[in-house]
Amino acid sequence: MRAEALLIGFLLALARVAGVLTFLPLPGIRSGPEPARVVLALSFTLALFSSWPLAPDDLSAGRLAGWMLAEAALGIAIGLAASFLAEAFVMAAQIIGLQAGYAYASTIDPSTQADSGILLVFVQLIAGLLFLALGLDREIIRILAQSFDTQPPGGFLITPRAAESLLRLGASLFSVAFRLALPVVALLVLVDLGLALLGRLNQHLQLLTLAFPVKMLAAILLLAWIAVMFPAVYRGSARGALEAARVVISGR
């Protein structure tokens, strides 16, 4: 293989890998130092050396730029499918945090370096660890390797089936989030009703000072009880995300 063709294949593969890493839900990947992320992208690209695309001899600079944009778009589509996994858990944590009062306790989100609810950051870290514990990082690398066989360089176009698959995956994000948050929200509604009845029975009861600790304690106890279901829910959502990623790279 000529050195020029090898360099072009490396650039095309790097564009696709960098697109995936843009949205990949790895813990701390967005807040990490820039050199570390560059090294990670280069390492993934070199690991896929046997799958690098072959470039034609008469490839112009303008055509190469267009191909690299197409490769980055394909990588972003794959990474977007994977990112929906963590976003479902983050949305559920946001719903629970607002209802239980955890939104008042904030910390620095390692992904965005902004103030976020403590429960939201905790659940985001759990989702990232589940991504690694269930071996989804290896599945993404496998899908990346397969994409070089099914999608030639510069030929990626989002098909109606792929767009529908991503839209369905995005819609399922809300469904998973509400299913995770609904038991806690239902319990908090019952707590509110109970406190309202106590307020009617005792007019001097300080409901404002009583409601916050009771609701926080009830929410954390129920979360601890249902936390054992998180891996199963995450695994079920991962099947849909990986299937959507395979549809994207299939080109059909």
Single out the residue of 19, 26, 6, 81 nearest to residue 238, CA to CA. 81
Q: What's the rounded Cα separation, in Å, for the pair 114 and 121?
A: 11
Report pLDDT for 115. Answer: 55
Rounded (5°) CA angle 83-175-188: 110
In the chain, what is the straight-line distance between the N-terminal and C-terminal CA atoms, in Å? 31
Q: Rounded to an integer, what distance in angstroms lies between the CA atom of residue 83 and that of residue 245?
A: 11
What is the extent of the structural domain holding 134?
Answer: 3-250
Write the CA distances from 137 to 22, 63, 76, 113, 142, integer angstroms.
Answer: 14, 31, 15, 24, 9
pLDDT in tens, the chain (252 residues): 577 778 888 888 888 888 888 888 877 777 767 788 888 888 888 888 887 777 666 677 777 788 888 888 888 888 888 888 888 888 888 888 888 877 776 655 555 555 566 788 888 888 888 988 888 888 988 888 888 888 877 667 777 888 888 888 888 888 888 888 898 889 888 888 888 888 777 777 777 777 788 888 888 888 888 888 888 889 988 888 888 888 888 866
Say if residues 71 and 12 touch (Cβ distance below 8 Å).
Answer: yes
d(CA 245, CA 136): 12
Q: Around Cβ 131, how many Cβ atoms within 10 Å?
A: 23
Domains of the chain: total:
1
CA 190 → CA 37, 101, 197, distances in Å?
47, 15, 11
The amino acid occupying position 79 is: G
Q: How far apart are CA 147 and CA 58, in angstroms?
A: 24
Which tokens is 53 given? Answer: 């695309």
